[in-house]
Amino acid sequence: MRIILFGAPGSGKGTQGDLISRRYKYPKISTGDLLRRAVREGTDLGKKAEAQMNRGALVSDDIVEGLVRERITAPDARKGYLLDGFPRNLDQVRSLEAMDGGRPELAIEVDVDRRVLIERLQSRRTCRSCGAIFNLLLKRPGIEGRCDVCGGELYQRADDRPEVIGKRLEVYEEETRKIKNHYREKSVYRRVDGSGPVEAVFARISEILERENVGREREQDRR
Ligand code: AMP
Over residues 68-126, the pLDDT tens digits come to 999 999 999 998 999 999 998 999 999 999 999 989 999 999 999 999 999 989 999 99
C-alpha to C-alpha distance for 61 and 45, rounded to whole angstroms: 12
Catalytic residue of the set 2, 28, 36, 88? 88
**SS3 for 133?**
strand
Answer yes or no: 204 catalytic: no
| 20 CB within 6 A, ligand 1 | no
Q: What is the pLDDT of residue 138?
A: 80
In order of start, what are the domains of the chain with their CATH numbers? 2-27+74-222 (3.40.50.300)
Q: Which residues pair with 125 in a beta bridge?
A: 134
8 A C-beta contact, residue 30 and residue 38: no
Give pLDDT tens digits for 12-58: 898 899 999 999 999 999 999 999 999 999 999 899 999 999 888 88
Answer yes or no: 88 catalytic: yes
8 A C-beta contact, residue 106 and residue 208: yes
End-to-end CA distance of the chain: 16
* Count of positions (residues) in the chain: 223
C-alpha to C-alpha distance for 157 and 41, rounded to whole angstroms: 16
User: Among 61-75, 164-178, 191-205, which stretch is predicted with the lowest mean pLDDT?
Assistant: 164-178
**pTM (2 decimals)?**
0.84
Query: Quick check: 222 pLDDT over 50?
Result: no
Catalytic residue of the set 13, 36, 120, 125? 13
C-alpha to C-alpha distance for 110 and 192, rounded to whole angstroms: 5
